[in-house]
Structure 1
């Protein structure tokens, strides 16, 4: 029983490893004007305290949100809408290599006072500042490393941020198996996402 409790705790706070999500994949984009739920998304760049610019990330935030909608969310009646773009200056979070095995706890602790509870908060940081971590997601917050923004890691971590857990079926967005094949949510997962959005949306 003690082993099961430990396993449960690890599964709740586990960071998502990079595995093989680098493999190119294509998903036909679908856009809809008839959406059941729309939620704002804040993009938050993680920077060290001695840096004043987000230029090094080179992300087009609107294009990123459009890609998420077309590739993953609009087909389920869920829309992501661009919110604010911010910068979090935090040396502890910026370099997670010194916190191996504790990444999720560090992420949640260091962002506790820097997120909007009525939105999805996506934190972007350098993949080079982690060890085998592609992203983390929980409690309306998703950390996505810059090299994985346009892979299935992004909707996977958003799923975690909205209350979804890992799912064992290949091809499911919440699967840990062959991430490059992930593209679908189940009906039950979509219901959970929409229920969570009902609770947090403005």
Structure 2
């Protein structure tokens, strides 16, 4: 076995120096304006941020306002077509969707057909994201984009809104949206 190399002392030219960030900033910033203008802009910026955070509604409040606006709007052609859809057509649509699946749905035995259809629509990514938008608005957006969402979904939405006429219907939001925005408080 060959002997290992031993150095008596390292030369100072080849030794790696340690980096020290204690006394200097790591990024060089060149000032383009006076110190006074920088202070003014920071005050204006902080005031603007405070105004935005105070006035910005939470997603919950925004969705409630969106639901009220949609309820007040006059019915369009798609809503009128959806009102003409019968219960038999809705059941036929759901049977067709179930036949496509390889296995039966799990943990949905207690749900109504309407809720199953709406949850299936929530999980269909071809119609766009379901977070932060009501189901009716998502259906109408997909329809306007030419994605051809099923009219049965809108029919279910219209019927559920009619049932909840006077009360607030919580089914306007996607089930996944409710799960994502829920807060769990530990006692």
TM-score norm. by structure 1 comes to 0.25
TM-score under structure 2 length normalisation:
0.26
Structure exhibiting the larger radius of gyration computed from Cα positions: 2
The structure with more helix, counted as a fraction of residues: 2
